Structure 1
Amino acid sequence: MTKRVRSRRGDGPIPASLDWWLFRLSPLIMLVGMVAGGVLIVRSILVWGVEDVEYPFGIDIPIAAVVLTLWAGTAAVLLVPPRSALATRDGAKSSTALVWPLGKRFRVWTVVAAPVCGLLAAMAPFPIPVALGWDPEIPANLWLGLPLAIGITLFAGALIWLVLRAALHGVELTPTHLIARGYFITRRYRRREMVSINAVQLKWWPSLLLTMLLNRDVEHTLQLSLADGSEPLLLAANSREHDVRIGAEIVRAWRAADDET
């Protein structure tokens, strides 16, 4: 089992042990925010935004608003972890810790996007049936409409998956491994296999892809050099150059502490 640090007085808004539980359950928490946000937005549009058709106000609207408010409070806590859960530049921690500067720039944006992604999830299934002509008022258009509908659906699915992983996004250090939780997948690297850790600028194609997906300029990240000669990029570490350099220092100190012990 991984050792957890105990919280200190003034450490954070909640004890470190509870924060770690929320962190592990964060995909489920993001899903709750997504569902509550989708219900609230869709029902609000129908009740107050659609003319000529009367949609009744129901108990589901205040329930969704209350759930979304509770979700917002939990999400805010996830974005302010206790200091005892964070890795430091001196590499002194022997327990699991988060490298908070890595991924910092996009963490808030992806978390707060959860309610809007609920609306996107509700709308995502509709383009394909429309392209197939299931709507009698709209003629089928397989050659143009179907590829476009599939592309929109895949993009929506990717964005929803990204937001579900929003609070997990970043780099975690354990006594034996570096865990990089990227936008879509998680990778693990053994501590003793790392030869060097560097802040680098992304090549044009991953930078362009992530810039289009996140609607933000994505330029810098962390690169590892491993004993087998491979040099993986940690897309989980995307942030401003200053944050990435600080993150690189933290990971180097963690790696050096292993050599000292």
Structure 2
Amino acid sequence: MTKRVRVRRNDSPLSPAAYWRLRFFSPLIMLVGMAAGAILIVRSILVWGVDGDEYPFGPDIPISAAALLLWVGAVALLMLPPRGVIALRSGPFDSRRLVWSLGRRFRAWNMIAAPIAGLAVFFSLSAVVLAVVSVVAAPAEAWLLALGTVALAAIAIGLGVLQMRGALHGLQLTPTHLIAHGYLWTRRYPRGEIVSINAVEVKFWPSILLRALTNRDARHTIQLSLANGAEPVLLASNSRETDVQAGAEIIRVWRSAAAD
């Protein structure tokens, strides 16, 4: 009996060019989701959760709800890349491609969590404003309040950047470089400098940190060996072992194709 092989259909309504444009603007799209989610949640609580007429229903509520619906549609499109942008072991590698299996679980979680993350950023920034006011009002205790302000600001900025990069998260292959879009920054590795690609387990402390940030437990990731002796671990590819193994094989084929 022949085993049927499931082939992914091109179920995205976008062309590869349109998808890449949408992906380019994805940080702005995620920012809209965060802002709309925070406004809608806060205003809904004030309007329907507080007795009295102090917080009336306003146009900001339907506007933020409409923006959130548009964000949901954009996220759905970003999570359904057309076949022409996904890297396969069979190639080709003559244009930029996504290694879609790498970082997939975290990418989905970060994107879905954007409205709640926006609420967390809102409260963090509100606390920063209150701390700054307190520093001005009580200069004798300014040093302690200043430390708290810096910590809260760092949390808000870090969480905001993490969520804005949600759609970018993962590995991308171009004809000349492997690009790792991590949680907070992007790293680029020249194709000719990559000696080997290995699937490894994430060390204890990075694993704990990733679990705290993303509410997901995936212990495997990609590690590169470079010609200069460096061995960077690409936490952007953190996923289940089967996904990491499949992604590593795709990258090996991409690297070997450089000689063709």
Give the structure-1-normalised TM-score: 0.88
Q: Is the CA contact 1:222–1:238 (under 8 Å) kept in the aligned structure 2?
A: yes
Q: Following TM superposition, by how much is the alpha carbon of 1:121 offset from its aligned partner in structure 2, in angstroms?
A: 2.3
What letter matches 1:28 in structure 2? L
Q: Is the CA contact 1:92–1:257 (under 8 Å) kept in the aligned structure 2?
A: no
Partner in structure 1 of residue 189 of structure 2:
189
- Partner-residue secondary structure (3-state), 2:221: strand
What letter matches 2:124 in structure 1? A
Cα distance between partner residues in 2 of 1:198 and 1:33: 36
Partner in structure 2 of residue 41 of structure 1:
41
- Partner-residue secondary structure (3-state), 1:124: helix
Q: Following TM superposition, by how much is the alpha carbon of 1:169 offset from its aligned partner in structure 2, in angstroms?
A: 0.5
Cα distance between partner residues in 2 of 1:96 and 1:23: 13
Cα distance between partner residues in 1 of 2:17 and 2:99: 17
Cα distance between partner residues in 1 of 2:116 and 2:94: 39
Partner in structure 1 of residue 213 of structure 2:
213
Q: Following TM superposition, by how much is the alpha carbon of 1:141 offset from its aligned partner in structure 2, in angstroms?
A: 7.1
Q: Is the CA contact 1:131–1:142 (under 8 Å) kept in the aligned structure 2?
A: no
Q: Is the CA contact 1:11–1:84 (under 8 Å) kept in the aligned structure 2?
A: no
The answer to whether the aligner puts 1:104 opposite 2:113 as a matched pair is no
Q: Is the CA contact 1:200–1:220 (under 8 Å) kept in the aligned structure 2?
A: yes
Q: Following TM superposition, by how much is the alpha carbon of 1:87 offset from its aligned partner in structure 2, in angstroms?
A: 0.2
Q: Following TM superposition, by how much is the alpha carbon of 1:52 offset from its aligned partner in structure 2, in angstroms?
A: 4.3
Question: Deviation digits for residues 127-182 of structure 1, max 9, x if unmatched?
Answer: 345456739xxxx9768766455434322321111000000001000000000000
Partner in structure 1 of residue 232 of structure 2:
232
Q: 1:133 to 1:11 in 2, by over 3 A?
A: closer
Q: Which moved more, 1:230-239 or 1:150-159?
A: 150-159
Cα distance between partner residues in 1 of 2:86 and 2:133: 53
- Partner-residue secondary structure (3-state), 2:55: coil
Q: Is the CA contact 2:36–2:65 (under 8 Å) kept in the aligned structure 1?
A: yes
**How well do the aligned residues superpose, as a CA RMSD in angstroms?**
2.5
Q: Which moved more, 1:230-239 or 1:113-122?
A: 113-122
What letter matches 1:95 in structure 2? S
Cα distance between partner residues in 2 of 1:155 and 1:216: 20
Q: Is the CA contact 1:99–1:170 (under 8 Å) kept in the aligned structure 2?
A: yes
What letter matches 1:240 in structure 2? R
Q: Is the CA contact 2:125–2:152 (under 8 Å) kept in the aligned structure 1?
A: no
Cα distance between partner residues in 2 of 1:152 and 1:218: 28
Partner in structure 1 of residue 114 of structure 2:
114
- Partner-residue secondary structure (3-state), 1:171: strand
Q: Following TM superposition, by how much is the alpha carbon of 1:93 offset from its aligned partner in structure 2, in angstroms?
A: 2.8
Cα distance between partner residues in 1 of 2:99 and 2:122: 34
Q: Following TM superposition, by how much is the alpha carbon of 1:204 offset from its aligned partner in structure 2, in angstroms?
A: 1.4
- Partner-residue secondary structure (3-state), 1:93: coil
Map residues 120-135 of structure 1 onto 2, 5 A cutoff: 120-131=120-131, 134=134
Map residues 1-261 of structure 1 onto 2, 5 A cutoff: 10=10, 12-52=12-52, 54-131=54-131, 134=134, 147-148=147-148, 150-259=150-259, 261=260
Cα distance between partner residues in 1 of 2:19 and 2:133: 49
Aligned residues: 252
Cα distance between partner residues in 1 of 2:121 and 2:110: 15
Q: Following TM superposition, by how much is the alpha carbon of 1:29 offset from its aligned partner in structure 2, in angstroms?
A: 0.8
Q: Following TM superposition, by how much is the alpha carbon of 1:10 offset from its aligned partner in structure 2, in angstroms?
A: 4.2
Partner in structure 2 of residue 3 of structure 1:
none
Q: Following TM superposition, by how much is the alpha carbon of 1:91 offset from its aligned partner in structure 2, in angstroms?
A: 3.3
Question: Deviation digits for residues 77-98 of structure 1, max 9, x if unmatched?
Answer: 0001001110001233311100
Can you give the 5+ residue segments of structure 1 that lack an aligned partner in the other structure? Answer: 1-8
